Amino acid sequence: MDFENEIKEKLNTKRFERQRGSSSGCISSGYVYECDDNVVVFVKFNEDSISRVMFDGEFYSLSALLSTNTVRVPKPHFVHTDCNSSQSAIVMEYIAHLHSLSSHQRTLGNQLAALHFHNAKLGKQEMKNENWLGKGREQAYVSQFGFDYVTCCGKYPMKNEWMSDWISFFSRVRLEDKINSLLEIHTDRELNELWSQLQLVIPRFFKDLNEKPIIPALLHGDLWAGNAGETNDGPVIYDPSSFYGHSEFDLAIAKMFGGFRREFFDAYHSVIKKDPYFDHRSDLYQLFHYLNHWHHFGTGYRSQSLNLMKKCCKTSI
């Protein structure tokens, strides 16, 4: 049985006809299939040895985002691995008439803020209900930073071990892990020296929050314009790399490559206000993404990464 037939069998459909290819980024290939009863699904394929890990991370990320009922994402159906190779696929809802984000910028800003505030609302509700014996909960407040599953921001797996402190999580599980991965590929003395300097000053970027604890927020994790779109009904986000982290992390990459207009950010900050060091932390959070691009696409991103590290080291707060 070939791989497509295995997926067809798992969908329990007699009809499984590939209609066309669809954009799914530079890492995987994606196709639209029509099934029985005019059901349409989108299937992404990848033959890399880590494809199962990558698609499992996407499946659980989409599932977590979907459960908040705050912003539309494709509903994931399942992940399947070819029994004869390393090829895997993720099968999900196909969203028709999806195009680049344009007229629904403000709506997405409001919905992203709702997503980021969702866990905090659960925490407040949990406090109200803590004395209600026997009261069931569909969702529970998450008090730490991390995620139950490995995710991939691009094609490289990222550990999401749970930690109670955001600064430690971001420094160790995001920046340090990414820098160590780069140093395994490149013997880069300047990168190593700058990281030795930067890790000493990272706590300064959070001094404005000493009296305001960071509440873990469920994040998209890779929210650049290529992972957001809209239909006539409203915005859609996809290709997530979710975890519980600082809400500002999602906005950093949203500012890097264009596509999100001022009304998106204004709508977001009408719900979740900017803290005093927001712009400084944006540099720090963008650094992860520049390092990740260096890891994926090569030394073309080296100078941008190192220059941003130098800027962060010299930031006077």
- Same domain for 21 and 161, yes or no, is no
Residue in 106, 113, 99 with CA at minimum distance from that of residue 70: 113
Say which of 56, 188, 222, 239 is annotated catalytic: 222
Nearest CA to 216 among 273, 153, 281, 140? Answer: 140
| Cβ neighbours around 74 below 10 Å, total | 21
Verify that 88 and 115 share a domain, yes or no.
no
The answer to whether residue 117 sits within a structural domain is yes
2 domain residue, yes or no? no
**Residue 279 is among the residues annotated as catalytic for this protein:** no
Position 150 scores a pLDDT of 98
> Closest by alpha carbon to 40, among 72, 17, 6?
17
Asked whether residue 114 falls in the same domain as residue 36, the answer is no
Of the candidates 93, 128, 160, which is a domain's last residue? 93
Find the domain containing 43 and state its range: 15-93
For residue 7, being part of any structural domain is answered with no
| Nearest alpha carbon to residue 224 among 264, 166, 193, 267 | 264
257: left (phi over 0), alpha (psi -120 to 50) or beta: alpha
End of a domain among 75, 93, 111? 93
Q: 280: which residues sit within 8 A by CB, 6+ positions away?
A: 205, 315, 317
In-domain check, residue 6: no
Neighbours of 117 (CB within 10 A): 19
In the prediction, which pLDDT does 138 show?
A: 65
- The pLDDT of residue 211: 87
For residues 61 and 187, membership in a common domain is answered with no
Question: Do 160 and 218 belong together in one domain?
Answer: yes
- Identify the segments of the chain with pLDDT beneath 70: 1, 22-25, 130-138
With contact defined as beta carbons under 8 Å apart, do 109 and 23 qualify? Answer: no
Identify whether residues 73 and 193 lie together within a single domain: no
DSSP 11-40: HT-S-EEEEEEE--TTT-EEEEEEEGGG-E
Residue 1 lies in a domain: no
Shared domain for 141 and 203, answered yes or no, is yes
CATH number at residue 61: 3.30.200.20
pLDDT for the residue numbered 107: 98
9 inside domain: no
On whether residue 177 sits in a domain, the answer given is yes
SS3 210: coil
Domain identity same for 293 and 146: yes
Same domain flag for 166 and 22: no
Q: Taking the CA of residue 48 as centre, how many other CA atoms within 13 Å lie in the half-sphere pointing to its CB?
A: 17
Q: Both 246 and 265 in a single domain?
A: yes
Residue 299 lies in a domain: yes
Q: Are residues 172 and 187 in the same domain?
A: yes
Mark whether 88 and 127 lie in a shared domain: no
pLDDT of residue 23: 63
- The residue among 74, 93, 112 that closes a domain is 93
> How many structural domains is the chain composed of?
2
pTM here is 0.95
CATH number of the domain that residue 295 is part of: 3.90.1200.10
